[in-house]
Copies of this chain bind each other. A is one copy, B any other.
Amino acid sequence: MPPAHPFDDDKLREECGVFGVVGVQDAANFVALGLHALQHRGQEAGGIVSHDPEQGFNSARRFGYVRDNFTKQSLMETLPGPLAIGHVRYSTAGSKGNTAIRDVQPFFGEFSMGGAAIAHNGNITNANALRRELIERGSIFQSSSDSECIIHLMARSLQQNVPERMKDALRRVEGAFSVVAMTRTKLIGVRDPLGVRPLVIGRIGDDGFCLSSETCALDIIGAEFIREVEPGEMVVIEHGHLKSHRPFEAAKPRFCIFEQVYFSRPDSILSGRSVYETRRQIGIELAREAPVDADLVCPVPDSGTPAAIGFSHESGIPYGMGIIRNQYMGRTFIEPTEQIRNMGVRLKLNVNRALIKGKRVILVDDSVVRGTTSRKIKDMLLDAGAAEVHFRIASPPTAWPCFYGVDTPDRDKLLAARMSEEEMREYLGVDSLKFISLDGLYRAAGQEDGRNNSCPQFCDACFSGEYPVRPRDMIEKGFQLKAAE
């Protein structure tokens, strides 16, 4: 059922991964592999649309992991052709059982001059207003996804081909978006003017091109990384040629710094730098900013591992696996028992008791959001006999929600929005707590002089509260921007 309430602020918003290929046989197989490599960007569901000159457009959408669905012969045979795009999607807590498959992208629309499919990573900050306007004009929405606005805007555009209709549509859209789209012959990629979300270009085989959220998905299919789609750029690939368009007014890029901290895979290259190396540098910066005498540097696996390695390298304190991760955890439980609901982090992590016992431990994690998990990990370490626990965080305090496609709780659920650093330390019950500074983070990310406060090089709204695109829908719903200083 299309939602009675088209925008629901109880709902977690998705962070997604997109992938597209053109110019190879059975393109959908490549898309499936690419999405498998991007699974960390969205684990709830995935979809692929392909086009074959004889069999036209075909699509499949499935809940669950890519590897459990889009590896099957019988399904992949229904997705023939040399051109395909795909999407993986994060859990949206609010979507109820029998309707949510409609919200799985890519979306498809048949226009008067042909059809197009699009997949979107990001978030549209004026989706409410756009949806109201489109319904007023007679569009019928089939999903609760804001991304569907783009395809309705395209359907109503007066332009005569898909790329021009897409420009027309995206000029009405505010927010962060990296879009991969396709027509019968074209593969299209677009990033919003600020380039908040990533999107890269690869080459495969003689004539093939691909577009991907991250470079790690180029590796899995043996594609060569060419360059990023630039902020504000639209690339249109057809018959082995790539044309670059610039549909938007020029703007200073503001790439999401949280992709560097946590979201992207460590083996990806972002803005010309290895994510692993950036994270290791964060650990080095942290060790310089917040040294402490201890016996062991221990990561919270796996997101804290590269920073912990860096901290160990810089401090000389031995690195060790004090917390072991159970590899058989997925994201969700269907109809769980009471006991499972109450288990929390213990289902996933266990302390390596023999290693921890009697040690002064530096625990390195990527971030603190609500703080609930961090407390439980600290309890587990103390239970196991840790002498001291010093918590080092590879990002500044997360004090503001993201409205650009990362799932964050409401502001009042964010620990750092409610407490000072000392209050947090007390709440978490650790011997010391230090976050990397914003400047330290910028340095680790390659900005040698740190953050340019008059014109920051990244989007760091979750840390600074400075939103580079006005979160219009959220303000309409009562969100208070940071007071100007």
List chain A positions with a Cβ less than 8 A from chain B: 1-6, 26, 29, 33, 36-37, 39-40, 43, 49, 56-61, 65-68, 71-76, 78, 96-99, 108-112, 115, 132, 135-142, 151-152, 155-157, 216, 219-220, 265-267, 269, 273-274, 276-277, 280, 302, 305-306, 309, 312-313, 318-321, 324, 326-330, 333-340, 343, 346-347, 350-355
Chain B nearest CB: distance from A295 CB in Å? 13
Secondary structure call for the A interface = mixed
* Contact partners of A29 in chain B: CB under 8 A: 337, 339
| 18 further A-B pairs in the complex, CB-CB below 8 A; given A1-B108, A59-B98, A305-B321 | A33-B343, A40-B327, A43-B328, A67-B328, A72-B334, A72-B337, A78-B96, A78-B97, A109-B140, A139-B139, A139-B140, A219-B353, A267-B350, A267-B353, A274-B353, A276-B324, A306-B321, A309-B319
- Given A139-B140, A329-B67, A321 and B309 contact (CB-CB distance below 8 Å): yes
- Given A220-B347, A266-B321, A355-B276, A328 and B66 contact (CB-CB distance below 8 Å): yes
CA A287 to CA B350, docked complex, whole Å: 28
Chain B nearest CB: distance from A314 CB in Å? 11
- Given A66-B328, A309-B319, A135 and B111 contact (CB-CB distance below 8 Å): yes
Residue of B nearest to A306 (CB): B321
* Contact partners of A74 in chain B: CB under 8 A: 335
Q: Judging by beta carbons under 8 Å apart, are B67 and A330 in contact?
A: yes
Residue of B nearest to A156 (CB): B138
Interchain Cβ contacts under 8 Å between A and B, 24 examples? A1-B49, A1-B58, A6-B110, A39-B328, A59-B98, A65-B328, A67-B330, A67-B333, A72-B335, A74-B335, A137-B138, A138-B138, A138-B156, A139-B155, A219-B350, A265-B324, A266-B324, A267-B352, A269-B353, A269-B354, A274-B353, A276-B352, A309-B321, A319-B319
CA A33 to CA B350, docked complex, whole Å: 13
User: 6 tightest CB-CB pairs across the interface, nearest first?
Assistant: A274-B354, A4-B56, A138-B156, A267-B324, A138-B155, A39-B328
